Amino acid sequence: MTTFAIGDIHGCYQELLKLLDKINYDQTKDQLWFVGDLVNRGPDSLKVLRFIKNQPNTVVTLGNHDLHLISLFYNACPLNKKHTVDEVLNAKDAEELINWLKSQKLIHYDKNLNCVMSHAGIYPGWDLNQALFLAKEVEKELQADNPKDFLHNMYGNLPDKWHDNLTGIERLRFILNALVRMRYCDKVLHLDLVETEEPQIAPKHLIPWFEAPNRKPITANIIFGHWASLRKYKTPNKIYALDTGCVYGDTLTALRLNNKIIKVYCCY
């Protein structure tokens, strides 16, 4: 079996099919990891969800746009938030798709492959075990029969720094932001959830999370998406950024994870 991790799709169904053809994907043998943001902005979010849901061997970590879709379904998001997922919300199988989506993970770790995946990365103040443990707290809230209250309160940029004594919605919001929205922090690990530009032109006090001083060591390869403007930036060893801007007319990328060989494939 070959395992491939695939970057942010954002409803780009045709590009996904082209990429799978290029890597000779065999659904009877291969496993697909999806780094999140399956939906929104692109033209075919419904097709993407149905396709991935029906594949026999997949792993999905939720992205911020996936969570926004779930929030829309439960009428739990701010009214001024734009989206392009009406086709999903109006589909006859919408409830089935949302129930499947909200049952997915926020972080996935495979010891045999020595790889860990989440949509935005891993907060530099956490080690791997802590990140895995904390993700389960939020997954439990999402997987409730009716997570509307949690979804309504998940929006916001505060608190911006982790403390072990955080409780309630502030604790859950920080965990979620760190796993699905994080890009930058400062040298004392306050998150900046506003800046989206590439590091070369970002404000000087901001640091990509994976370059933060005193980042807790993680020996696994870290796979993440979310950050399209990072696609021309050279990340450190064992850090793999997979959002290569497909929905903006660039590429959709996959990593081959088997046999300790990580190779990039791109669909143009």
Q: 175: which residues sit within 8 A by CB, 6+ positions away?
A: 134, 135, 137, 138
263: which DSSP letter? Answer: E
CATH 2.60.120.620 correct for 3-267: no
**Of 127, 116, 135, whose CA–CA distance to 215 is shortest?**
127
CA 222/CA 10 separation, integer angstroms: 21
Q: What pLDDT, in 10s, does the model give residues 71-93?
A: 999 999 876 677 899 999 999 99
What pLDDT was estimated at residue 202? Answer: 93
* Paired strand residues for 31: 3
- Cα dihedral 245, 110, 69, 122, rounded to 10, equals -70
CA 35/CA 224 separation, integer angstroms: 6
Q: Please report, for the chain, the start and end positions of each structural domain, with discontinuous segments joined by +.
A: 3-267
Asked whether residue 238 carries a pLDDT value surpassing 90, the answer given is yes
**Of 41, 227, 226, 67, whose CA–CA distance to 153 is shortest?**
67
Neighbours of 161 (CB within 10 A): 15
| Contact (CB, 8 A) for 188 and 161 | yes
Lowest average pLDDT, out of 21-25, 27-31, 77-81, 190-194, goes to 77-81
Three-class secondary structure of residue 196 per DSSP: coil
pTM of the model: 0.96
Q: What pLDDT, in 10s, does the model give residues 162-177?
A: 999 999 999 999 999 9
CA 103/CA 7 separation, integer angstroms: 20
